[in-house]
Amino acid sequence: MEEWLRARMLASAGIAGIAGNHVDWGLRPAGDQMPGVELFVISDVPERRMAGNPTWHDARVQANCWAATPGEAIRLRRAVATFAEGLRENVDGKKYRVFVIDADGRTEPDAGRIAHRAQVDLRISYQV
């Protein structure tokens, strides 16, 4: 799921038009340019089944949208939400379903650097 999501975000004209290729899992690389998207898996729960191994997972992914200005962080957040809402895709025989479950409307400055963060939480159901 992680590789698929990052590749799809990088291929999104809306996200790439703002963040370029700055979409990373975990902490963004030190000195990485802004704006950019920082992705974290908050939870990744397999479906419950009475018999056999689960074939679906239900993940929650947090996308932190970092930028030098509040407006740019909000534009990037909107691009991520627009990209993700209702995304359905079948890739290599696996299905992916994405929903926006929360989008933070405010930005928060980061005291360690001059940066602003806006957040989008995604629910991703996917086959394993």
Q: What is the model's pLDDT at position 48?
A: 74
pLDDT averaged per 10 residues, the chain (length 128): 96 97 87 89 86 84 92 95 95 94 74 80 94
Segment (H or E) for 38: strand 36-46
Q: What is the model's pLDDT at position 113?
A: 66
- Name residues whose C-beta falls within 8 Å of residue 26's C-beta, 6 or more positions apart in sequence: 38, 39, 40
CA proximity to 98, closest of 7, 18, 24, 1: 1
For the full predicted model, state whether its pTM sits above 0.85.
yes
Q: What is the model's pLDDT at position 108?
A: 66
Q: What is the model's pLDDT at position 27?
A: 81
- Residue 111, number of CB atoms within 10 A of its CB: 7
